[in-house]
Structure 1
Amino acid sequence: MRGRRPLPSGLGAPSDDPGASLAPALDVPWLEPFPDARFDLEARTDLRLAWVAAVQYLPARQRAVLVLREVLGFSAAEVAEQLGTTVAAVNSALQRVRAALAGAGDAHAVTEPDDPEVREVVQRYMHAFEAADVPALVRLLADDAVLEMPPVPLWYRGSGDYGRFMERVFGMRGTGWAMRALTANGQPALAAYAPQSGGGHRLHTLQVLTVIAGRVARNVVFADPRVFDAFGLSHETPADQFRGER
């Protein structure tokens, strides 16, 4: 597993069971999002494309080389040391990455988080999620939308299975969610706060969205407290915390 940072979609086939077990796989060093505040504008653009490529196209080793070399700016020798390989192997992997991305049209079709169309899609997704309105969420999804939830190895492909799983989530957690918009990996992201019985909300997940052609094509959902802390997110909040942040 050394050097690997997978997502669930890289480890097995999608599920079609909305009631499947949500047991986490804690022995896997899952791919995690980066707070955009750590990077300048140019680096965020590179990071956005690297993330999209990582979750959709590249094997684990090539994904690691792409992020370390092209986004974080490590030398080939430094990357080789971190991954336990050779400089020649790192350079070869980077060449394969560039060849793969040259034909990956969807990666370059992903628009910026502040693109007006993306902002509208994200706003509509937020409102639908807050209302626990599954049909409205499904209307915003691409037909082959992917939902994955590290450290849970379970994942879904297709708007139908996505919607059925969301029915399970809202059935368990209820309505009246609160959402906060932010960015991660140069992409739109949402902090989702679940309602608490005594009032207010508790942080439930950080969701990183990939929006292509006006639809949500992928949602990578993180529930690891370490991810929350990396983004400086409050774990609990009053009910009206995010009013006015739209």
Structure 2
Amino acid sequence: MSEFGLTEPFRKELLAHCYRMLASVHEAEDAVQETYLRAWRSWSSFEGRSSLRVWLYRIATNVCLTAIEQRGRRALPSGLGAPATDLSPGVPPDDPAVRFVEPIAETLVIPAPTAGSTASSDPAAIVTLRESLRLALIAALQYLPPKQRAVLILREVLAFPAAEVATMLDTSVAAVKSTLQRARANLDSTVPGEVSAPTDPESLALLDDYIAGFENADTAALERALRADAAIEMVGTTTWFNGRVMCLQLLASAVGAPGDWRMIPIIANGQPAVGAYFKGDPYGVAVLTPTPTGLSHIHVFSDPELVPYFGLPKVPAP
């Protein structure tokens, strides 16, 4: 079998890994391409001292670490300042170096069962993958120093042994263990709370309320869906809103008339989400964070290009 045939089954899990590291689908795709290019160039030197999977993750992790050094971390609006106190339009950050976390489509990272890859469409594996891609966790990971981020993901998410992680990062097992301890301590203060699975009945009911609220201009449905401490983040700006009262004011100002909005359910970052259309035109994607007591967060990505990126039509069916 050619090197392409041997390495190709790992592409989707490598994309998920690079996305966790970089919080950007586009940068993750570039990192995977660079990983495969480096693997192809150095294929003759791969002598099987480690598994093919470990070798590819070593290359991918180091590609990501280089990218982080060059570009810095990504954030969500709530990581940039205090919540808004009025409904003024969101504005981009003053600092042009600030970049934002991007959502990822589940179809990009869940592979079909394939010989040679540990990833699969097994339900338990999908649950684990979804938990490792949640928006709040991805944003929290960005606050870790790059090496801590890499070690935490490789050890805690991907369950590589400490010795293999040490080989990937050209360090010692002792250094990996101490780095992991620091990463855990740093992440504890920002780790997200309980989140319901996107296919749980309670999640589907909250999604239905959100869609009905917009498509039918039904603010009562939106109020029913929100937790008292709900937050809405307008990703791409520094603006975010905290508390049901402020969130409902924002949503009431946005719903318009019945029929103005069309929402198509999707899954993004292991969470229920919608591709949104306003008056027939693509608007963007909203990612919902369902909990047993209601929606805790709504992340709004008002980028029309995301709609086709999630495999949705540019114009919704009648």
Alignment TM-score, normalising by the size of structure 1: 0.75
Aligned partner of 1:219: which letter? I
Alignment partners' CA distance in 1, 2:80 and 2:282: 27
Q: Contact conserved, 1:36 with 1:184, CA < 8 A, in 2?
A: yes
- My pick for the range that moved more, 58-67 or 70-79, is 70-79
Shift of 1:233: 2.7
Q: CA RMSD for the aligned pairs?
A: 3.6
Q: Contact conserved, 2:213 with 2:255, CA < 8 A, in 1?
A: no
1:215 aligned to which of 294, 297, 300: 294
Alignment partners' CA distance in 2, 1:191 and 1:30: 19
Distance of aligned partners of 1:79 and 1:166 in 2 relative to their CA distance in 1, 3 Å threshold: farther
Alignment partners' CA distance in 1, 2:224 and 2:184: 34
Tell me which residue corresponds to 2:3: none
Aligned partner of 1:215: which letter? G
Q: Which has the higher helix share?
A: 2
* Counterpart mapping for 1:98-137 below 5 A: 98-99=184-185, 107=193, 109-137=194-222
Larger Rg: 2
* Counterpart mapping for 1:71-220 below 5 A: 94-99=180-185, 107=193, 109-171=194-256, 174-176=257-259, 177-195=261-279, 201-220=280-299
Q: Contact conserved, 1:3 with 1:61, CA < 8 A, in 2?
A: no
Distance of aligned partners of 1:116 and 1:11 in 2 relative to their CA distance in 1, 3 Å threshold: same
Q: Contact conserved, 1:141 with 1:216, CA < 8 A, in 2?
A: yes
Alignment TM-score, normalising by the size of structure 2: 0.59
Matched, 1:62 2:144: yes
Alignment partners' CA distance in 2, 1:223 and 1:78: 41
Alignment partners' CA distance in 2, 1:71 and 1:36: 17
Q: Contact conserved, 1:35 with 1:183, CA < 8 A, in 2?
A: yes
Aligned partner of 1:12: which letter? G
Distance of aligned partners of 1:62 and 1:90 in 2 relative to their CA distance in 1, 3 Å threshold: farther
Alignment partners' CA distance in 1, 2:145 and 2:214: 31
Q: Determine which structure has greater relative contact order: mean sequence separation of CA pairs < 8 Å that are 6+ residues apart, divided by chain length.
A: 1
Gaps of 5+ in 1: 82-86, 196-200, 241-246
Aligned sequence identity (%): 34
2:131 aligned to which of 41, 45, 48: 48
Distance of aligned partners of 1:78 and 1:208 in 2 relative to their CA distance in 1, 3 Å threshold: farther
Alignment partners' CA distance in 1, 2:183 and 2:217: 39
